[in-house]
Structure 1
């Protein structure tokens, strides 16, 4: 992995003071630039020769760690508790994207990451959305798009079956990048895909006989979950969870909730629940958390967060 170079200036004069000052400045610059490089990706010595993988946000960090195991150094770009859609990259993170061996991301979730990948790492990018069959973006999602337009819903990680496909493809990609460990990547990818396939079967069984099949959610993050398990998603806002819905949109969602007997309005931990709470009061429903699993769950992982979602869905939808 490369690091930024430091330039040493000649002393301004022949005096000892000038020479000492210049030396200190050079050391400071060297330390600062080394820290800048190490902040996101490891040095060759730190990584032990392992490929460095940058994952854009939590579920992609999870699959990268599952597949990479001890043979790859995986780092996440989005810190826990940060809403991924709002991520703004620092110069250090952009340098890390340029230096990393592989960038695992989903085009359309984080415009700042999309731009950095296009400018600095297009040949090292693994776009999870390009590995699976996508579904069209909703009208709300299209209206809120920023950066380069896309016509699909990017929340592919919320369908365990699609994520299992992406995991297999990631194992193949890491194997091509690091042939010495290709068999280990493939083995771990098979294991992780098996866990996701089992999770999918659990969702299929648990949601098969629910009385209600309509989800009212804070934003339209659950289209793949709804598509996979034959549910209907009604989002208060589109792809941006912080977007303010119009009065007309709120009235439309309230009408749907009343008409279809919705008993729960779903909120998210990283988004203010105020609008959802007002809507729930308006239609006589309660609120509950449905996690889009965009950030690392407290005390768990992707699988435990998905199962917590399944429990919340079963209660809200009246499943046997």
Structure 2
């Protein structure tokens, strides 16, 4: 592994360490004395899984504030300094964290373990979930051309792939504190059981649905397409900042009307004026899905976790697949 960093990155890291040492050192020392691991994570599922698996032996903090858009958010140099003083930095490594490559490069000279929780997961290429490379009737074909080679990073929305994220986190915790392997393994197995049950609920819901098509503002549900057989018609691409052409919009409206789409699914932390236009054009109602890149302060206060929020998403999906 190369241990050199660019001059700009080194300067930024030095500034961050200076700004953060007085506040982070005390916290880190306290956790070490208490026998706790200091862990930093990115997207919410990684934070939730690490807390559940690590239990009383971990202190977990996400670099993302509530309700942030993960594709574009960048942490401050102070946060990078805090991460460098921790035991591990766990990120997905599948392309959702825009800042990750730069941050990892800056952290190479520190003692923090850098963990790609998505290691070992085969990512979908945009459009691959349909099983062919032909033009799709739902108006996404121009996006497929534009996104050729782009991979869908939203692996955590698939309860089966989420088990792999959890397993990689468990392995890291065992590596850092092998004396607690039994506890970490037991906690992981409990989480895995919850994820397996969630997978079965998704299968049952889609199997009994009136239709298989959903109209979404952001193409975040490719893994649901492959695993459960639904088909997403998206207004935007894999990234919520990528907007469709006029021809795409016309095709989406046409296809939505042909399929008698009654709902447009928006996301709680993504705003899209174009999706609102589509909604009005086809006379549809709006539904809200939580993509779990981050969570709201309200959800945190209510004690919700990955499993409970995914069950809410499943209820939204059930309604979206209904003809009622």
- Same-fold status (TM-score > 0.5): yes
Q: Paired residue for 2:59?
A: 73
CA deviations 1:186-236 (Å, max 9, x no partner) are 111111111111111111112212121112211111111222211111221
Matches of 2:20 and 2:281, distance apart in 1: 55
Matches of 1:215 and 1:42, distance apart in 2: 46
- Greater relative contact order: 1 or 2 (C-alpha under 8 angstroms, separation 6 or more)? 2
- Classify the secondary structure of the residue corresponding to 1:111: coil
Does 157-166 or 109-118 show the bigger shift?
Answer: 109-118
- Classify the secondary structure of the residue corresponding to 2:82: helix
CA deviations 1:233-272 (Å, max 9, x no partner) are 1221123223333222212222221222222111111122
- Contact 2:31–2:37 (8 Å) recurs in 1: no
Q: Paired residue for 1:314?
A: 318
Q: Paired residue for 2:305?
A: 301
1:135 paired with 2:124, answer yes
Matches of 1:312 and 1:227, distance apart in 2: 19
CA deviations 1:8-48 (Å, max 9, x no partner) are xxxxxxxxxxxxxxxxxxxxxx995434535xx93222342
Match of 1:46 among 31, 41, 58: 31
Matches of 2:118 and 2:77, distance apart in 1: 26
Matches of 1:204 and 1:164, distance apart in 2: 16
Change in CA separation of 1:319 and 1:65 when aligned onto 2, cut-off 3 Å: farther
Q: TM-score, normalised by structure 2?
A: 0.80
> What's the C-alpha RMSD, in Å, of the aligned pairs?
2.6
- Contact 1:219–1:236 (8 Å) recurs in 2: yes
- Contact 1:144–1:240 (8 Å) recurs in 2: no
Change in CA separation of 1:55 and 1:232 when aligned onto 2, cut-off 3 Å: same
Matches of 2:264 and 2:187, distance apart in 1: 38
Instruction: Please give the residue correspondences for 1:204-283 in structure 2 after superposition, counting only pairs within 5 Å.
Output: 204-283=203-282
Change in CA separation of 1:265 and 1:171 when aligned onto 2, cut-off 3 Å: same
* Structure 2: gaps (5+ residues): 1-16, 128-141
Matches of 1:291 and 1:227, distance apart in 2: 19
- Contact 2:158–2:223 (8 Å) recurs in 1: yes
Aligned residues: 285
Matches of 1:61 and 1:53, distance apart in 2: 9
Q: Paired residue for 1:84?
A: 70
Q: 1:96: how far off?
A: 2.3
Q: TM-score, normalised by structure 1?
A: 0.81
